[in-house]
Amino acid sequence: MKRHPTRLLKKCYQVSTKCKVKVFNPFGKSKSCADREFYFCCYNSPLARIVMQQIKKTGQLGFSEDDKSCVGIRLDQLEQLDWSKLDLSEWKSLILEAQNAGLNDDQLKIMEKLSEQTLAPTDTAATLENNSTSDSIAELVMYFSDRDED
């Protein structure tokens, strides 16, 4: 089965399914579904889809999680949102995925090395004084700077 381009770009999400063809199940007394229709809500961008899903999930602007409509929101409604209730982690993952898709092996090694570094985000002094982290980053920068000059 081919996926539609808008689904591949993660602009859509499934809202419901419907059984098109029911067949007798010889192993049970009920009928089984042999063919299903899938219904999707599609938006202009993955971010629009994610925001609308989160609005429904958090019950904002009169929407509910069970809402099967594929409507969007008006620009003036953006001000009414409680953004702290929206989980945008999927959007962040998509951005990182897109960034990593264009990286060469050396760049990926840098990203892996940086992701291994641990900083205390709530302790500014510890972050600034974490010499091993800054040394590792400086070492990586020097290594790849030297390579670019060759």
Q: Can you give the pLDDT at residue 5?
A: 64
Whether residue 60 contacts residue 84, with contact meaning beta carbons closer than 8 Å, is answered with: no
Mean pLDDT score of the chain:
75
The pLDDT, as a whole number, for residue 81 is: 93
Q: What pLDDT score does 137 carry?
A: 52
**Using an 8 Å Cβ cutoff, are 150 and 109 in contact?**
no
Q: Which amino acid type is present at position 13?
A: Y
- What residues does each domain of the chain span? 104-150
Of 51-55, 93-97, 113-117, 136-140, the least confident: 136-140
pLDDT of 47 strictly over 60: yes
The pLDDT-based confidence of 94 (bands split at 50, 70, 90) is confident
Q: Report the half-sphere exposure of 102 (CA within 13 A, side-chain side).
A: 4
Residue 119 pLDDT? 40
pLDDT band per the 50, 70, 90 thresholds, residue 54: very high
State how far the Cα of 78 lies from the Cα of 148, in Å rounded to an integer.
45
Q: What is the pLDDT of residues 17-31, one digit of tens each?
A: 999 888 887 776 778
Residue 84 CA to residue 61 CA, distance in Å, equals 14
- State the pLDDT at residue 116: 55
**Token couple for 47:** 């971010």
In this prediction, residue 121 has a pLDDT band, given cuts at 50, 70 and 90, of very low
Taking only the tens place, the pLDDT of each residue in 58-76 is 999 999 988 999 999 999 9
Instruction: Mark 21-30 as b/e (b = at least 16 C-beta within 10 Å).
Output: eeeeeeeeee
